[in-house]
Structure formats: structure tokens, C-alpha cells
């Protein structure tokens, strides 16, 4: 699980491994203007434009 920091909001408890997110951000197979679809730990889904993600951190929060 990771937490994602975007230009206007922080998203906590995203169900994706750190190494997978790292590959998404490093590679060009998803362009800066494409949306990355994410799922929160409670099952709620969202989509964030790749260029709006400014950072992410590993989280072991199991609340």
C-alpha cells in the first residue's frame, strides 16, 4: 500500500505496491496527460492524471 501526494490533494491507503507505482512513473508507456486508475483500501476507486502526482511513499497503515 502507498500514499500519493498530488499537486492539490493527498491520497492515503492506495492499493498498489511501491515498485509498481515506481515503474508507472518512470516509464513512458503512460503519458503525462493520461489518468492512472487507483483503488483505495476500502475499495473506492479514483483516477489521477500522471503529471499531477508529485510523490509517493510506502505505507503499512492497516486502520
* pLDDT tens per residue, range 22-39: 999 999 999 999 999 999
Do the beta carbons of residue 12 and residue 1 sit within 8 Å? no
**What does the block give as the cell for 15?**
492499493
16: Cβ–Cβ under 8 A, 6 or more apart, which residues? 1, 2, 38, 39
Domain residue spans of the chain: 2-58
Mean model confidence pLDDT for the chain:
93
Do the beta carbons of residue 48 and residue 2 sit within 8 Å? no
For residue 62, is pLDDT > 90?
no
Could you give the CA distance from residue 7 to residue 38 in angstroms, rounded to a whole number? 16
Q: How many residues does the chain have?
A: 63
- pTM for this entry: 0.85
Amino acid at each position: 500500500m502507498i500514499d500519493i501526494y498530488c499537486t492539490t490533494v493527498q491520497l492515503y491507503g492506495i492499493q498498489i505496491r511501491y515498485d509498481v507505482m515506481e515503474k508507472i512513473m518512470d516509464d513512458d508507456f503512460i503519458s503525462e496527460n493520461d489518468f492512472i486508475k487507483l483503488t483505495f483500501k476500502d475499495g473506492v476507486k479514483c483516477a489521477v492524471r500522471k503529471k499531477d502526482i508529485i510523490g509517493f511513499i510506502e505505507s503499512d497503515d492497516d486502520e
